[in-house]
Amino acid sequence: MDPSAPGASRGPGPPGAPQGPGRERWIDAAAGPIVRPYAMTRGRTRPRGEPLDIVAILVATGAPPPEPGRLAREQRRLLALCRRPHTVADLGSELELPLGVIRVLAGDLLDSGLLAVQRWSTPTPSVPPHVDQNLLRRVLDELRAL
């Protein structure tokens, strides 16, 4: 058949078109190659240690990685972002990854001592917290104004 004839195959087709049997279709040409979340986490769906809340604040410890070449690209990006404190939810948004993936990757970095969870200090029971009545009234007034 003449390749210039109408309806003739002109190669692999438009970007994102299936390339053969069993091939997945991309959403659009700009999507790029798809890496499944389970490939990033090596099939794990939960961190090995304590589960991380989505509002947990993570910060890089500054410790050098034991084997720098063994960190995944996403883990290196996560560490770079955590030079400044970030919540798990913010990291998911910044890296455009599901929260479950962020929790597993961050859990690995916590286990290796490269990340830490920033904990807030709680007031000691013997010292009551200072309550500014004027501030509370202003907040209440502003909430009512909404």
pLDDT in tens, 94-125: 988 888 888 888 888 898 899 999 877 665 66
CB environment 52-69: b (16+ within 10 A), e (fewer): beeebbbebeeeeeeeee
Which residues touch 63 (CB under 8 Å, ≥6 apart)?
Answer: 113, 114
Q: Containing domain of residue 87, as a range?
A: 52-118
Number of compact structural domains in the chain:
1
CATH at 81: 1.10.10
pTM of this prediction? 0.57
Would residue 131 count as lying in a domain? no
Kindly state whether residue 68 falls inside one of the protein's structural domains.
yes
Give the C-alpha separation, 62 to 38, whole Å. 28
Report if residue 130 sits inside a domain: no
Q: Supply the pLDDT for residue 97.
A: 86
- Secondary element (H or E) of residue 117: strand 115-118
Instruction: Tell whether 109 is covered by a domain.
Output: yes
